[in-house]
Structure 1
Amino acid sequence: MYYVAHRLFAAHDRSLGALVARKLADQAGHDAVFLPFCDTDEEDLVAPVKGRRLFELDQIRLRTVTGMIAVLHGPSLDDGVCMEIGYAAALGVPVVVLTTDFQTYSAGEQTDRWEFPDPLVEALATRIVRVDRLGKSGEATDRFDAFAARNAAQVELATTAAVNAVLTASQRPRRLPVHTVARPGTAFLEPSPYAPYPTALHEAALTQVSAIVAPSRFTARDSLVAARSDWDAALQTEFLVLDVSGPESPPGAALLAGAAVALGRRAAAFQPRPTYTHAHGREPNWRNLMIQYGTGARVGGPQSLADWLAS
Protein backbone atom coordinates (compact mmCIF):
# COMPACT_ATOMS: atom_id res chain seq x y z
CA MET A 1 0.00 0.00 0.00
CA TYR A 2 1.32 3.44 -0.97
CA TYR A 3 0.32 6.53 0.97
CA VAL A 4 0.14 10.02 -0.54
CA ALA A 5 0.58 12.63 2.20
CA HIS A 6 -0.37 16.17 1.18
CA ARG A 7 -1.93 19.34 2.51
CA LEU A 8 -5.74 19.00 2.52
CA PHE A 9 -7.23 22.39 3.18
CA ALA A 10 -7.55 23.98 -0.25
CA ALA A 11 -8.75 22.71 -3.62
CA HIS A 12 -5.41 23.23 -5.38
CA ASP A 13 -3.60 21.15 -2.74
CA ARG A 14 -6.15 18.34 -3.00
CA SER A 15 -5.91 18.49 -6.78
CA LEU A 16 -2.13 18.07 -6.59
CA GLY A 17 -2.54 15.11 -4.23
CA ALA A 18 -4.99 13.52 -6.67
CA LEU A 19 -2.52 13.96 -9.54
CA VAL A 20 0.22 12.22 -7.55
CA ALA A 21 -2.15 9.41 -6.57
CA ARG A 22 -3.39 8.96 -10.16
CA LYS A 23 0.14 8.65 -11.55
CA LEU A 24 1.13 6.25 -8.78
CA ALA A 25 -2.02 4.14 -9.25
CA ASP A 26 -1.35 3.87 -12.98
CA GLN A 27 1.80 1.91 -12.15
CA ALA A 28 1.07 0.31 -8.77
CA GLY A 29 -2.64 -0.42 -9.17
CA HIS A 30 -5.76 1.49 -8.16
CA ASP A 31 -6.24 -0.40 -4.89
CA ALA A 32 -2.58 -0.02 -3.91
CA VAL A 33 -2.77 3.74 -3.29
CA PHE A 34 -4.34 5.55 -0.34
CA LEU A 35 -5.23 9.23 -0.72
CA PRO A 36 -6.42 10.96 2.47
CA PHE A 37 -9.61 13.06 2.26
CA CYS A 38 -10.54 11.18 -0.92
CA ASP A 39 -10.40 7.68 0.54
CA THR A 40 -11.72 8.64 3.97
CA ASP A 41 -14.67 10.39 2.25
CA GLU A 42 -13.96 13.36 4.51
CA GLU A 43 -16.46 15.81 3.10
CA ASP A 44 -19.41 13.40 3.51
CA LEU A 45 -18.21 11.31 6.46
CA VAL A 46 -20.49 11.43 9.49
CA ALA A 47 -19.12 10.28 12.84
CA PRO A 48 -19.78 11.20 16.51
CA VAL A 49 -16.26 12.66 16.74
CA LYS A 50 -15.31 13.15 13.11
CA GLY A 51 -11.73 14.36 13.58
CA ARG A 52 -10.83 11.39 15.76
CA ARG A 53 -12.42 9.01 13.26
CA LEU A 54 -10.39 10.52 10.42
CA PHE A 55 -7.23 10.09 12.50
CA GLU A 56 -8.12 6.46 13.14
CA LEU A 57 -8.75 5.77 9.45
CA ASP A 58 -5.46 7.38 8.43
CA GLN A 59 -3.56 5.49 11.12
CA ILE A 60 -4.99 2.15 9.90
CA ARG A 61 -3.54 2.88 6.48
CA LEU A 62 -0.23 4.14 7.87
CA ARG A 63 0.27 0.79 9.62
CA THR A 64 0.20 -1.03 6.28
CA VAL A 65 2.14 1.22 3.91
CA THR A 66 5.15 0.05 1.90
CA GLY A 67 6.01 3.48 0.55
CA MET A 68 5.00 7.13 0.92
CA ILE A 69 5.09 10.20 -1.27
CA ALA A 70 4.88 13.33 0.88
CA VAL A 71 4.23 16.70 -0.76
CA LEU A 72 5.83 19.62 1.09
CA HIS A 73 6.34 23.21 0.05
CA GLY A 74 6.89 26.62 1.56
CA PRO A 75 8.49 27.83 4.79
CA SER A 76 5.52 26.70 6.90
CA LEU A 77 5.36 22.95 6.35
CA ASP A 78 2.04 21.18 6.77
CA ASP A 79 2.10 19.63 10.24
CA GLY A 80 -0.22 16.76 9.31
CA VAL A 81 2.09 15.71 6.48
CA CYS A 82 5.13 15.98 8.76
CA MET A 83 3.36 13.82 11.34
CA GLU A 84 2.70 11.19 8.66
CA ILE A 85 6.36 11.30 7.55
CA GLY A 86 7.50 10.74 11.15
CA TYR A 87 5.12 7.81 11.52
CA ALA A 88 6.39 6.14 8.34
CA ALA A 89 10.05 6.83 9.08
CA ALA A 90 9.78 5.31 12.56
CA LEU A 91 8.58 2.06 10.93
CA GLY A 92 11.30 2.07 8.27
CA VAL A 93 8.92 2.87 5.40
CA PRO A 94 10.65 4.67 2.50
CA VAL A 95 9.48 8.27 2.20
CA VAL A 96 9.96 10.26 -1.01
CA VAL A 97 9.44 13.96 -0.39
CA LEU A 98 8.19 15.92 -3.39
CA THR A 99 8.58 19.69 -3.68
CA THR A 100 8.55 22.33 -6.40
CA ASP A 101 9.67 25.00 -3.92
CA PHE A 102 12.62 27.03 -5.22
CA GLN A 103 13.69 28.10 -1.72
CA THR A 104 16.21 26.39 0.51
CA TYR A 105 16.85 27.27 4.15
CA SER A 106 19.61 27.82 6.70
CA ALA A 107 20.17 29.02 10.24
CA GLY A 108 22.46 31.85 9.05
CA GLU A 109 23.74 33.57 5.92
CA GLN A 110 26.91 31.47 5.70
CA THR A 111 25.81 28.21 7.35
CA ASP A 112 24.77 24.91 5.77
CA ARG A 113 21.65 25.05 3.63
CA TRP A 114 18.76 22.69 4.26
CA GLU A 115 16.21 21.42 1.80
CA PHE A 116 13.44 22.35 4.24
CA PRO A 117 13.10 24.69 7.25
CA ASP A 118 14.00 21.81 9.60
CA PRO A 119 16.93 19.55 8.64
CA LEU A 120 15.17 16.64 10.34
CA VAL A 121 12.89 16.35 7.30
CA GLU A 122 15.91 15.87 5.06
CA ALA A 123 17.47 13.38 7.47
CA LEU A 124 14.36 11.17 7.45
CA ALA A 125 13.59 11.30 3.73
CA THR A 126 14.65 8.34 1.62
CA ARG A 127 14.85 10.72 -1.32
CA ILE A 128 13.92 14.32 -2.01
CA VAL A 129 12.55 15.13 -5.46
CA ARG A 130 12.96 18.86 -5.98
CA VAL A 131 11.93 20.31 -9.34
CA ASP A 132 12.31 24.02 -8.77
CA ARG A 133 12.34 25.43 -12.32
CA LEU A 134 9.41 26.14 -14.59
CA GLY A 135 8.91 23.86 -17.58
CA LYS A 136 8.38 24.84 -21.20
CA SER A 137 5.25 26.66 -22.28
CA GLY A 138 4.54 24.50 -25.30
CA GLU A 139 2.30 26.15 -27.90
CA ALA A 140 0.78 28.82 -25.65
CA THR A 141 1.13 32.40 -26.89
CA ASP A 142 -0.82 34.35 -24.25
CA ARG A 143 1.58 35.13 -21.41
CA PHE A 144 -0.79 33.93 -18.70
CA ASP A 145 -1.56 30.70 -20.53
CA ALA A 146 2.16 30.25 -21.11
CA PHE A 147 2.92 30.76 -17.43
CA ALA A 148 0.20 28.29 -16.41
CA ALA A 149 1.55 25.75 -18.90
CA ARG A 150 5.09 26.14 -17.57
CA ASN A 151 3.87 25.46 -14.02
CA ALA A 152 1.83 22.46 -15.19
CA ALA A 153 4.88 21.05 -16.96
CA GLN A 154 6.97 21.50 -13.82
CA VAL A 155 4.43 19.68 -11.67
CA GLU A 156 4.14 16.89 -14.24
CA LEU A 157 7.89 16.33 -14.25
CA ALA A 158 8.14 16.40 -10.45
CA THR A 159 5.23 14.01 -9.97
CA THR A 160 6.59 11.49 -12.45
CA ALA A 161 10.02 11.57 -10.79
CA ALA A 162 8.49 11.08 -7.32
CA VAL A 163 6.38 8.12 -8.44
CA ASN A 164 9.37 6.41 -10.03
CA ALA A 165 11.44 7.05 -6.91
CA VAL A 166 8.94 5.57 -4.45
CA LEU A 167 8.32 2.51 -6.61
CA THR A 168 12.05 1.85 -6.76
CA ALA A 169 12.58 2.45 -3.03
CA SER A 170 9.70 0.19 -1.99
CA GLN A 171 11.21 -2.76 -3.90
CA ARG A 172 14.29 -2.79 -1.71
CA PRO A 173 14.30 -4.85 1.51
CA ARG A 174 13.01 -2.73 4.36
CA ARG A 175 15.64 -1.88 6.92
CA LEU A 176 13.86 -1.18 10.17
CA PRO A 177 15.39 1.56 12.30
CA VAL A 178 17.05 0.32 15.45
CA HIS A 179 15.22 1.77 18.43
CA THR A 180 16.62 0.77 21.78
CA VAL A 181 14.26 0.39 24.72
CA ALA A 182 13.29 3.80 26.01
CA ARG A 183 15.35 4.85 29.00
CA PRO A 184 13.03 5.19 32.01
CA GLY A 185 12.87 8.61 33.58
CA THR A 186 14.09 10.51 30.53
CA ALA A 187 12.31 13.12 28.42
CA PHE A 188 13.08 14.77 25.08
CA LEU A 189 12.02 18.42 24.95
CA GLU A 190 11.54 19.67 21.38
CA PRO A 191 11.25 23.48 21.47
CA SER A 192 9.44 25.59 18.89
CA PRO A 193 11.50 27.78 16.56
CA TYR A 194 8.71 30.34 16.86
CA ALA A 195 9.05 30.81 20.63
CA PRO A 196 11.79 31.16 23.25
CA TYR A 197 13.17 27.98 24.78
CA PRO A 198 10.60 26.93 27.42
CA THR A 199 12.91 27.08 30.41
CA ALA A 200 10.03 26.83 32.87
CA LEU A 201 8.89 23.60 31.20
CA HIS A 202 12.41 22.23 31.41
CA GLU A 203 12.57 22.96 35.13
CA ALA A 204 9.10 21.52 35.78
CA ALA A 205 9.96 18.34 33.88
CA LEU A 206 13.09 17.84 36.00
CA THR A 207 10.87 17.51 39.06
CA GLN A 208 9.47 14.29 37.55
CA VAL A 209 12.26 12.84 35.38
CA SER A 210 15.94 12.26 35.86
CA ALA A 211 17.21 13.74 32.59
CA ILE A 212 16.07 16.11 29.84
CA VAL A 213 17.43 15.72 26.31
CA ALA A 214 17.24 18.69 23.92
CA PRO A 215 17.94 18.85 20.17
CA SER A 216 21.20 20.18 18.74
CA ARG A 217 20.59 20.25 14.98
CA PHE A 218 19.94 24.00 14.66
CA THR A 219 23.30 24.96 16.16
CA ALA A 220 25.54 22.03 15.20
CA ARG A 221 28.29 22.36 12.59
CA ASP A 222 26.87 19.40 10.64
CA SER A 223 23.11 19.84 10.91
CA LEU A 224 22.20 16.60 9.11
CA VAL A 225 24.34 14.44 11.38
CA ALA A 226 22.89 16.27 14.37
CA ALA A 227 19.35 15.79 13.04
CA ARG A 228 19.82 12.03 12.86
CA SER A 229 21.27 12.11 16.37
CA ASP A 230 18.29 14.12 17.61
CA TRP A 231 15.90 11.58 16.07
CA ASP A 232 17.66 8.64 17.71
CA ALA A 233 17.91 10.43 21.05
CA ALA A 234 14.23 11.38 21.05
CA LEU A 235 13.10 7.83 20.35
CA GLN A 236 15.24 6.49 23.17
CA THR A 237 13.51 8.58 25.82
CA GLU A 238 10.43 7.62 27.79
CA PHE A 239 8.57 10.90 27.24
CA LEU A 240 8.38 13.36 24.35
CA VAL A 241 7.47 16.95 25.19
CA LEU A 242 6.70 18.82 21.96
CA ASP A 243 6.24 22.58 21.81
CA VAL A 244 3.67 23.02 19.01
CA SER A 245 3.56 26.83 19.22
CA GLY A 246 3.46 28.61 15.88
CA PRO A 247 1.28 29.10 12.81
CA GLU A 248 1.34 25.31 12.46
CA SER A 249 3.01 22.72 14.65
CA PRO A 250 6.74 23.07 13.87
CA PRO A 251 8.09 20.32 11.59
CA GLY A 252 10.25 18.72 14.27
CA ALA A 253 7.40 18.48 16.76
CA ALA A 254 5.09 17.01 14.11
CA LEU A 255 7.66 14.46 12.91
CA LEU A 256 8.26 13.30 16.47
CA ALA A 257 4.51 13.14 17.19
CA GLY A 258 4.17 10.71 14.29
CA ALA A 259 7.02 8.57 15.56
CA ALA A 260 5.49 8.51 19.04
CA VAL A 261 2.21 7.14 17.68
CA ALA A 262 3.96 4.54 15.53
CA LEU A 263 6.13 3.30 18.40
CA GLY A 264 3.66 3.71 21.25
CA ARG A 265 5.70 6.35 23.07
CA ARG A 266 4.12 8.89 25.41
CA ALA A 267 4.01 12.38 23.94
CA ALA A 268 2.51 15.66 25.11
CA ALA A 269 1.96 18.82 23.10
CA PHE A 270 2.77 22.11 24.79
CA GLN A 271 0.52 24.92 23.57
CA PRO A 272 0.13 27.82 25.99
CA ARG A 273 -2.10 29.86 23.63
CA PRO A 274 -4.39 27.50 21.73
CA THR A 275 -6.25 28.58 18.64
CA TYR A 276 -8.92 26.40 17.11
CA THR A 277 -9.78 25.40 13.57
CA HIS A 278 -13.29 24.46 12.49
CA ALA A 279 -14.53 22.35 9.60
CA HIS A 280 -17.93 21.04 8.55
CA GLY A 281 -19.14 18.24 10.81
CA ARG A 282 -15.88 18.14 12.73
CA GLU A 283 -15.20 18.94 16.36
CA PRO A 284 -12.99 22.00 17.04
CA ASN A 285 -9.30 21.10 16.68
CA TRP A 286 -6.63 22.92 18.70
CA ARG A 287 -4.01 21.81 16.15
CA ASN A 288 -4.02 19.66 13.04
CA LEU A 289 -6.14 16.64 13.96
CA MET A 290 -3.14 14.35 13.36
CA ILE A 291 -1.29 16.25 16.10
CA GLN A 292 -4.33 16.57 18.35
CA TYR A 293 -4.93 12.83 18.44
CA GLY A 294 -1.33 11.76 17.89
CA THR A 295 -0.24 13.24 21.21
CA GLY A 296 -1.55 11.88 24.47
CA ALA A 297 -2.12 15.23 26.12
CA ARG A 298 -2.09 18.97 25.62
CA VAL A 299 -0.36 20.91 28.36
CA GLY A 300 -0.55 24.65 28.79
CA GLY A 301 2.12 25.32 31.38
CA PRO A 302 4.76 23.90 33.73
CA GLN A 303 2.37 22.50 36.34
CA SER A 304 0.20 20.66 33.83
CA LEU A 305 3.36 19.17 32.31
CA ALA A 306 4.57 17.98 35.71
CA ASP A 307 1.16 16.48 36.41
CA TRP A 308 1.19 14.65 33.05
CA LEU A 309 4.67 13.26 33.64
CA ALA A 310 3.64 12.06 37.08
CA SER A 311 0.43 10.40 35.86
Structure 2
Amino acid sequence: MKIYFANGLFSQADFEFNARFVQALRTALPELDIYLPQENAAINDKNAYADARMIAQADTDQVLAADLMIAVLDGPVIDAGVASEIGVAYAEHIPILGLYTDSRQQGAANQQKLAALQTIAENQFHYMNLYTVGLIKLNGSIYNNQDELVADLKNRLATA
Protein backbone atom coordinates (compact mmCIF):
# COMPACT_ATOMS: atom_id res chain seq x y z
CA MET A 1 0.00 0.00 0.00
CA LYS A 2 1.36 3.39 -1.01
CA ILE A 3 0.84 6.16 1.57
CA TYR A 4 1.21 9.91 1.17
CA PHE A 5 2.14 11.51 4.52
CA ALA A 6 0.93 15.12 4.67
CA ASN A 7 2.08 17.54 7.35
CA GLY A 8 3.88 20.83 7.63
CA LEU A 9 7.62 20.35 7.44
CA PHE A 10 9.20 23.71 7.97
CA SER A 11 9.60 23.82 11.76
CA GLN A 12 12.07 21.58 13.53
CA ALA A 13 9.19 20.19 15.61
CA ASP A 14 7.14 19.18 12.55
CA PHE A 15 10.18 17.87 10.68
CA GLU A 16 11.23 15.68 13.62
CA PHE A 17 7.65 14.49 14.35
CA ASN A 18 7.21 13.49 10.71
CA ALA A 19 10.50 11.59 10.64
CA ARG A 20 9.77 9.78 13.94
CA PHE A 21 6.18 8.83 13.12
CA VAL A 22 6.96 7.68 9.58
CA GLN A 23 9.92 5.64 10.82
CA ALA A 24 7.66 4.00 13.42
CA LEU A 25 5.13 3.20 10.67
CA ARG A 26 7.84 1.78 8.42
CA THR A 27 9.12 -0.40 11.25
CA ALA A 28 5.70 -1.62 12.38
CA LEU A 29 4.27 -2.06 8.88
CA PRO A 30 7.15 -2.70 6.46
CA GLU A 31 4.73 -3.50 3.64
CA LEU A 32 3.81 0.19 3.48
CA ASP A 33 5.48 2.41 0.88
CA ILE A 34 5.37 5.85 2.51
CA TYR A 35 6.13 9.06 0.67
CA LEU A 36 7.27 11.74 3.12
CA PRO A 37 7.67 15.02 1.21
CA GLN A 38 10.53 16.26 3.39
CA GLU A 39 12.60 13.32 2.14
CA ASN A 40 12.29 14.57 -1.45
CA ALA A 41 15.40 16.76 -1.60
CA ALA A 42 14.67 17.73 -5.22
CA ILE A 43 11.89 20.01 -3.99
CA ASN A 44 12.45 20.35 -0.24
CA ASP A 45 16.16 21.00 0.22
CA LYS A 46 15.73 24.62 1.22
CA ASN A 47 19.38 25.39 0.41
CA ALA A 48 18.54 24.56 -3.21
CA TYR A 49 15.83 25.95 -5.48
CA ALA A 50 12.47 24.55 -6.53
CA ASP A 51 9.78 26.84 -7.88
CA ALA A 52 6.06 26.61 -7.12
CA ARG A 53 5.31 24.54 -10.22
CA MET A 54 8.03 22.01 -9.42
CA ILE A 55 6.79 21.61 -5.86
CA ALA A 56 3.12 21.37 -6.86
CA GLN A 57 3.81 18.86 -9.64
CA ALA A 58 6.08 16.62 -7.57
CA ASP A 59 3.77 16.42 -4.57
CA THR A 60 0.58 16.15 -6.64
CA ASP A 61 2.09 13.25 -8.60
CA GLN A 62 2.78 11.49 -5.30
CA VAL A 63 -0.71 12.17 -3.93
CA LEU A 64 -2.25 10.77 -7.11
CA ALA A 65 -0.03 7.67 -6.93
CA ALA A 66 -1.07 6.97 -3.31
CA ASP A 67 -3.61 4.43 -2.13
CA LEU A 68 -4.19 6.39 1.08
CA MET A 69 -3.22 9.68 2.71
CA ILE A 70 -2.29 10.33 6.32
CA ALA A 71 -2.86 14.02 7.07
CA VAL A 72 -1.70 15.67 10.30
CA LEU A 73 -4.25 18.32 11.24
CA ASP A 74 -2.55 19.85 14.28
CA GLY A 75 -1.45 23.47 14.51
CA PRO A 76 -3.15 26.84 14.87
CA VAL A 77 -4.82 26.02 11.53
CA ILE A 78 -4.43 23.07 9.18
CA ASP A 79 -1.25 23.65 7.18
CA ALA A 80 -2.18 25.27 3.85
CA GLY A 81 -0.23 22.71 1.84
CA VAL A 82 -1.85 19.85 3.75
CA ALA A 83 -5.31 21.32 3.12
CA SER A 84 -4.52 21.50 -0.61
CA GLU A 85 -3.26 17.90 -0.61
CA ILE A 86 -6.44 16.80 1.19
CA GLY A 87 -8.48 18.44 -1.58
CA VAL A 88 -6.54 16.61 -4.28
CA ALA A 89 -6.90 13.27 -2.46
CA TYR A 90 -10.62 13.79 -1.92
CA ALA A 91 -11.21 14.68 -5.57
CA GLU A 92 -9.49 11.45 -6.60
CA HIS A 93 -11.35 9.31 -4.01
CA ILE A 94 -8.12 8.51 -2.13
CA PRO A 95 -8.98 7.64 1.49
CA ILE A 96 -7.68 10.11 4.07
CA LEU A 97 -6.80 9.34 7.68
CA GLY A 98 -6.53 12.53 9.69
CA LEU A 99 -4.47 12.76 12.87
CA TYR A 100 -5.73 15.47 15.23
CA THR A 101 -4.04 15.42 18.63
CA ASP A 102 -4.76 18.97 19.83
CA SER A 103 -5.37 18.80 23.60
CA ARG A 104 -8.07 21.48 23.39
CA GLN A 105 -10.51 18.87 22.10
CA GLN A 106 -10.65 17.48 25.64
CA GLY A 107 -13.26 18.50 28.19
CA ALA A 108 -16.29 18.47 25.92
CA ALA A 109 -18.49 17.60 28.90
CA ASN A 110 -17.00 20.29 31.18
CA GLN A 111 -19.89 22.66 31.92
CA GLN A 112 -17.62 25.65 32.59
CA LYS A 113 -15.98 25.22 29.18
CA LEU A 114 -19.37 24.88 27.51
CA ALA A 115 -20.74 27.95 29.32
CA ALA A 116 -17.67 29.94 28.28
CA LEU A 117 -18.75 29.53 24.65
CA GLN A 118 -21.45 32.12 25.39
CA THR A 119 -18.81 34.74 26.22
CA ILE A 120 -17.06 36.54 23.38
CA ALA A 121 -13.48 35.34 22.84
CA GLU A 122 -13.69 32.61 25.51
CA ASN A 123 -13.82 29.54 23.28
CA GLN A 124 -11.92 26.86 25.22
CA PHE A 125 -11.89 24.53 22.23
CA HIS A 126 -9.87 24.52 19.02
CA TYR A 127 -11.60 25.31 15.74
CA MET A 128 -10.74 23.56 12.49
CA ASN A 129 -12.04 24.47 9.06
CA LEU A 130 -15.18 22.37 8.68
CA TYR A 131 -14.97 22.17 4.90
CA THR A 132 -11.56 20.50 5.08
CA VAL A 133 -12.70 18.28 7.96
CA GLY A 134 -15.77 17.36 5.92
CA LEU A 135 -13.64 16.27 2.95
CA ILE A 136 -11.72 13.92 5.22
CA LYS A 137 -14.86 12.52 6.87
CA LEU A 138 -16.54 11.97 3.49
CA ASN A 139 -13.63 9.78 2.41
CA GLY A 140 -11.90 8.61 5.58
CA SER A 141 -11.64 9.12 9.32
CA ILE A 142 -10.03 11.38 11.90
CA TYR A 143 -8.19 10.01 14.93
CA ASN A 144 -6.98 11.80 18.04
CA ASN A 145 -4.03 9.49 18.64
CA GLN A 146 -1.46 7.59 16.64
CA ASP A 147 -2.43 4.16 18.01
CA GLU A 148 -5.99 4.33 16.63
CA LEU A 149 -4.72 5.55 13.26
CA VAL A 150 -2.20 2.68 13.11
CA ALA A 151 -4.95 0.21 14.04
CA ASP A 152 -7.02 1.50 11.10
CA LEU A 153 -4.01 1.08 8.81
CA LYS A 154 -3.53 -2.50 10.01
CA ASN A 155 -7.20 -3.27 9.35
CA ARG A 156 -6.96 -1.81 5.86
CA LEU A 157 -3.86 -3.88 5.13
CA ALA A 158 -5.54 -7.04 6.40
CA THR A 159 -8.52 -6.52 4.10
CA ALA A 160 -6.56 -5.36 1.06
TM-score, scaled to structure 2: 0.72
Q: How does 1:87-102 map to 2 (within 5 A)?
A: 87-102=88-103
Q: Out of 37, 42, 45, which is 1:43 matched to?
A: 45
Describe the superposition over 1:211-235 as per-residue Cα deviations: whole angstroms up to 9, x where unpaired: xxxxxxxxxxxxxxxxxxxxxxxxx
2:146 is the alignment partner of 1:163: no
Q: 2:131 aligns to what?
A: 120
1:66 touches 1:170 (CA, 8 Å); kept in 2? Answer: no
Secondary structure, counterpart of 1:37 in structure 2:
helix
> How many residue pairs end up in the alignment?
140
The answer to whether the 8 A contact 2:71-2:99 is kept is: yes
Alpha-carbon distance change, 109 to 120 in structure 1, aligned in 2, over 3 angstroms: same
Task: Kindly provide the CA deviation profile for residues 224-248 of structure 1, in whole angstroms up to 9, marking residues without a partner as x.
Answer: xxxxxxxxxxxxxxxxxxxxxxxxx
TM-score of the superposed pair, with normalisation by structure 1: 0.39
**C-alpha deviation, 1:60, in angstroms:** 1.2
Q: 1:40 to 1:65 in 2, by over 3 A?
A: farther
Identity %: 24
User: Does the C-alpha gap of structure 1 residues 118 and 172 become closer, same or farther in structure 2, counting only changes over 3 Å?
Assistant: farther
Q: Distance in 2 between matches of 1:66 and 1:94?
A: 7
Larger Rg belongs to: 1
Task: Tell me how far 1:91 sits from its aligned partner.
Answer: 1.2
Aligned-partner residue type, residue 117 of structure 1: M
Shift of 1:172: 5.9
Q: In structure 2, what residue type is equivalent to 1:43?
A: D
Inter-partner Cα distance in structure 2 for 1:76 and 1:44: 23
Measure the CA separation in 1 of the matches of 2:117 and 2:153.
Answer: 33
Q: Which residue of 2 aligns with 1:109?
A: 117
| Structure 1 unaligned blocks of 5 or more | 131-157, 174-311
Query: Could you tell me which residue of structure 1 aligns to residue 121 of structure 2?
Result: none
SS in 2 for 1:63: helix
Distance of 2:87 and 2:68 partners within structure 1: 13
- Give the whole-Å Cα distance in 2 for the aligned partners of 1:9 and 1:24: 21
CA distance in 1, matches of 2:143, 2:39: 24
Residues 70, 99 of structure 2: 8 Å contact kept: yes
- The alignment partner of 2:20 has SS state of helix
Do the aligned residues in 2 keep the contact of 1:115 with 1:122 (CA within 8 Å)? no
* SS class of match (1:103): helix
Query: What does 1:42-191 correspond to in 2, within 5 Å?
Result: 42-43=44-45, 46=48, 49-104=50-105, 109=117, 116-125=127-136, 126-130=140-144, 158-169=145-156
CA change 1:2–1:166 in 2 (3 A) is same
Aligned CA-pair RMSD? 3.0
Q: Determine the structure 2 residue equivalent to 1:22.
A: 23
Structure 2 unaligned segments of length 5 or more: list them: 106-115, 119-124
Higher relative contact order (CA 8 A, sep 6+): 2
Aligned mates of 1:85, 1:8 — CA distance in 2:
16
Hey, what's the Cα distance between the residues in 2 that align with 1:122 and 1:168? 22
**More helix per residue: 1 or 2?**
2
SS at match of 1:8: coil
How many angstroms apart in 2 are the aligned matches of 1:83 and 1:73?
15
